Amino acid sequence: MPALAVVGAQWGDEGKGKIVHYLSRGADFVVRYQGGNNAGHTVVFDDKTFALHLIPSGILLPLAHNVIGNGLVVSPRAFYDEVKMLEKRGVKVRGRLHLSTGAHVILPYHILLDALREQSGRGIGTTKKGIGPCYEDKVARIGIRICDFLEPNTFKSLVAQNLKVRAAELVRIKPLAAITKDVFKNYDRLRRFLAPFCRDTSILLEQALKRRKRLLLESAQGSMLDLDFGTYPFVTSSNPITGGACTGAGIAPSAVTGVIGVSKAYTTRVGLGPFPTELEGNTASYIRNVGKEYGTTTGRPRRIGWLDLPQLRTAIRVNGMTSLALTKLDTLSGIHPIKVCTAYRHKGKRLSDFPVSRRAQLEVEPVYESFPGFSGDISGARRFSDLPLSARAYILQIERWLGLPVSIVSVGQSRDQTIIRDKKFLQARNIN
């Protein structure tokens, strides 16, 4: 490494959890750097399925340390529930999970505000987990951090201050006295539970880098949900791109020596917003059902579309991706033909990249090229040569169009259902 970033190349749900879990075998520290429990990573390990929302996927491997960085917003209750779930299922967590004291805290009134906005016509299709309102408080400099949560007097004072600021909206839902009661329900128990996990994780990671330890940086959501470079305003409230890894983990940019973008072999999106290659009808239903395209966090059906190269080119550029992991190739088996969007047309012009204008994002028309499909169960493929010829041709053409190597191909949920096309890639990261 010393620090390898794994980022979502689309609108999230690309299969980052599995890729991170696979690469964690060569990592000493696995670090989440943004988002919150609105994220969902489904990982299959030892024939067991784990749905993780807040804790890095590396927790399922016995040796890796796992860090929840300062760039996250953390629900104490969600943290408690996820730790307890893992421990109940035999995963050793204590001593291996570290929570930044600089991360901001999601409280019950953030969740109330999130739901209110979604229901009042101002929503963008969020998970209603309170993520956006919590990040709003952070930017407005009234946020409450983990270090504040651990100090009862400080916490009490800040909650009183924030409820006054938010009163005009909150009283439309619930009396402030009732909201205050919700905030402090189980507070002492949660504070004592969180305390042993908490530390200045920026210092922890700096020390690890000085000792030449290997860091794996894990994003949540995807590049097209980035607050600055995504389909604004239908975006998340943080920066899932590589730049967010440095600010969200508290490490220097010079520490990041590689960036793997994770993309499905097609495209999906949850929530509202532009989606140029979106499909309707039988093909979309087939992909959704075969690929089990339902949100890990909410269970919502995902929107389905063909692979979008202009969108991927934008993600490659803003992340500085050095290679690509292509997931869910197996889901495309049985589809004839397979289409790829190679460019857009807009007002008589051909566009090779995703436009910034929100109007153009809605108006562009995809330019497609078609590939012969392939059939049969490819989930047992372990070498590139095991794949059908047309599947290999699909991947090789994507490489040529994007000018980026596809170093990993995933053909199933299990860690073992992975094809590594560049063995040097594994050796350089001490992955056996």
Q: How many CB atoms lie within 10 A of CB 131?
A: 27
Is the Cβ–Cβ distance between 2 and 212 less than 8 Å? yes
- Asked, for residue 402, whether it belongs to a domain, the answer is yes
Residue 46 resides in a domain: yes
Mean per-residue pLDDT for 381-410?
97
Asked whether residue 94 falls in the same domain as residue 132, the answer is no
47 catalytic per annotation: no
Residue 382 in any domain: the answer is yes
Residue 432 lies in a domain: no
* Contacts for 86 with CB less than 8 Å, ≥ 6 apart: 50, 55, 59, 93
Domain finish residue from 134, 163, 196: 196
- Domain assignment present for residue 318? The answer is yes
Judge if 272 and 360 occupy the same domain. yes
Does residue 373 share a domain with residue 251? yes
In a domain, 360, yes or no: yes
- Return the H-helix or E-strand segment holding 164: helix 152-165
Cα 15 to Cα 327: distance, rounded to the nearest angstrom: 6
Residue 186 shares a structural domain with residue 304: no
- Tens-place pLDDT, residues 315-337: 999 999 999 999 999 999 999 99
Residue 350: both structure tokens together: 């051909």
281 pLDDT exceeds 80? yes
pLDDT of residue 87: 96
Instruction: Determine the pLDDT at residue 1.
Output: 53
Q: 63 with 129, same domain? A: no
Residues 149 and 280 placed together within one structural domain of the fold: no
> What pLDDT, on the 0 to 100 scale, is given for residue 431?
62
CA distance 81 to 83: 6
Last residue of a domain, one of 176, 196, 216: 196
User: Same structural domain for residues 165 and 213?
Assistant: no
CA–CA separation, 50 and 100 (whole Å): 23
User: Mean of the pLDDT values across residues 364-368?
Assistant: 98
What's the mean per-residue pLDDT of the chain?
93
The stretch 205-233 carries a mean pLDDT of 96
How many C-alpha atoms does 252 have within 13 Å on its Cβ side?
Answer: 8
Q: What is the pLDDT of residues 142-157, one digit of tens each?
A: 999 999 999 999 999 9
% the chain with pLDDT above 70: 97
Check whether residue 134 and residue 21 sit in a common domain.
no
* Catalytic position from the list 41, 65, 104, 110: 41
**Active-site residue, from 13, 226, 308, 330:** 13
* Residues 299 and 381 occupy one common structural domain: yes
The answer on 86 and 60 residing in a single domain is yes
Q: Do 181 and 317 sit in the same domain of this protein?
A: no
Is the pLDDT confidence value at 300 over 70? yes
In angstroms, rounded to a whole number, what is the distance separating the alpha carbons of residues 32 and 69? Answer: 6
pLDDT at 426: 63
Reported confidence tier of residue 297, pLDDT bands at 50, 70, 90: low
44, pLDDT greater than 80:
no
Return the pLDDT at 310: 98
Single-letter residue type at 411: V
Of the three residues 171, 196, 221, the one that is the final residue of a domain is 196
Concerning whether 336 is annotated as a catalytic residue, the answer is no
β-pairing, 104-105 vs 73-74, is: parallel
Q: How confident is the model at residue 429 (pLDDT cuts 50, 70, 90)?
A: low
If pLDDT is split at 50, 70 and 90, which confidence band does 49 have? confident
Give the pLDDT score at 432.
56
pLDDT tens, residue by residue, 3-37: 999 999 999 999 998 999 899 988 999 999 999 99
Which pTM does this prediction carry? 0.92
CATH of residue 10: 3.40.440.10
- C-alpha Rg value of the chain to the nearest Å: 22
Q: Is it the case that residue 167 has pLDDT exceeding 80?
A: yes
Query: Per the structure block, which two tokens stand in for 64?
Result: 């890796």
Q: Is 147 domain-assigned?
A: yes
For residues 117 and 229, membership in a common domain is answered with: no
The structural domain count of the chain equals 2
Tell me the CA distances in angstroms from 352 to 77, 171, 362, 367, one per residue in order. 44, 48, 16, 10
pLDDT over 70 at 398, yes or no:
yes
What type of residue is 178? A
d(CA 257, CA 34): 19
Domain assignment of residue 282, given as a range: 3-101+200-427
